[in-house]
Homo-oligomer: A and B are copies of this chain.
Amino acid sequence: MRLYEYEGIDIFESVGIPVPRRGVAETTEDALIIAGEIGYPVVLKAQVLVGGRGLAGGVKTATTPEELEEISGTLFNFEIKGLPVRKLMVCEKADILRELYMGITVDGFSGKPVVVVSTEGGAHIEETARTSPDKIASFYCDPTFGFYPFQARMLLRRLGLSERLLTFCADVLVRLYRVFSQFDALIAEINPMVILKTGYQGGLLAVDSVIEIDNSALSRIQYPLPQMTERIENPLERKGREIGVTYVDLGGDIGIIASGAGLGMATMDIIGQRLRPANFLETGGGITEELLYKCMELVIMKVNLRAIFINIYGGINPIHEGARGVVRYIRDHNVTLPIVAKALGNHQEETWEIFRSGGVHVVTEAPTEIAVDRLFELVGKK
């Protein structure tokens, strides 16, 4: 689960990382009040769960209430990469001397937390990584041992940091690791970590936050977090989360239900060569009659659907039970859309029989391509 910038800043503050004075506004009136308390100039930052906000114009400075009103009004009517702006973070304007980058993620291949720092913070950090790798330093942690200040200092010294800046930045980096660890984060990032012209707050200010929490760990985090479903903008995707499946909304007209992400992606790849997927629903390993009933309901919500393609295997999943759910849905709602199902593995014969009883076109051969041929026969070209 991705956190909003302002939520991350609150978390940074709770572990003692220096952060700007700020407030969150849902209206221009709120923003005016907050700015009044902080004092002008203030920075207005659109809160959206997507990267590249700054380059897209979602961050503006206001030096007077009048300017703030204008900017705030614009931002609240703004969309960034298709996402509406519902909240603004209003914060003090930092007196920037330099900008650093600090980020922690899990390296998938080594299976270790990796701490990345750079003297060139800001929006272009990935480009810096490519063009000036000497300005980036990284450290792979032992997940059992953790990450200690001496390791942070060794890392930061590779960037040439020294004196108070060295120990202060090391302190922040260790606190960022604490966030990473206590919040089961996949990403914990401060970009930029601002070095101020003044000594205020120890001379450092974390003016942005990126925190993504591992969904599998949400229930064990000892911190009040919002509901995961609240922050899914797409209503169909939200419903998918609610019933416990992965649902991705797409632009086409063929509904896809698959068990397993890999099989689902392969199915999309095969279908996508000739037809356009409307969505992609991956059941995971928890198929029941009830679940597939709900999956059908969700997939069919998509308007202009021309057909449904079901691709499931009986390994951990009792696919015969799932088939019962599909057929029950078809009967309850008199579904007339063409449905093609490929279902193999444990209980396959029983599953075929159930599907056929509901008018589903069953394919019994292994290659998904053959089943998609069948689908193509039924619906024709796009």
Docked Cα-Cα span, A144 to B144, in Å, equals 8
A223 close to chain B: CB less than 8 A: no
For A146, give the chain B residue with the smallest CB separation: B144
A109 close to chain B: CB less than 8 A: no
Taken together, the copies of this chain in the complex come to: 2
Docked Cα-Cα span, A114 to B186, in Å, equals 34
Quick one: which of A105-150 are within 8 Å of B by CB?
144-145
State the interface size on chain A (CB cutoff 8 A). Answer: 2
Docked Cα-Cα span, A145 to B144, in Å, equals 7
* Smallest CB separation, A224 vs chain B (Å): 15
Docked Cα-Cα span, A144 to B143, in Å, equals 12
Give A132-176 as 1s and 0s: 1 = Cβ < 8 Å from B's Cβ atoms: 000000000000110000000000000000000000000000000
* Smallest CB separation, A259 vs chain B (Å): 32
Docked Cα-Cα span, A144 to B145, in Å, equals 7
Chain B residue numbers with a CB within 8 Å of A145 are 144
Docked Cα-Cα span, A286 to B187, in Å, equals 45
For A145, give the chain B residue with the smallest CB separation: B144
Chain B residue numbers with a CB within 8 Å of A144 are 144-145
Docked Cα-Cα span, A336 to B148, in Å, equals 55
Docked Cα-Cα span, A145 to B145, in Å, equals 9
* Smallest CB separation, A145 vs chain B (Å): 7
* Smallest CB separation, A192 vs chain B (Å): 29
* Smallest CB separation, A130 vs chain B (Å): 38
Docked Cα-Cα span, A145 to B142, in Å, equals 13
* Smallest CB separation, A283 vs chain B (Å): 31
A-B contact pairs, 2 of them (CB 8 A): A144-B144, A144-B145
Q: Which 2 A-B pairs have the closest CB atoms?
A: A144-B144, A144-B145
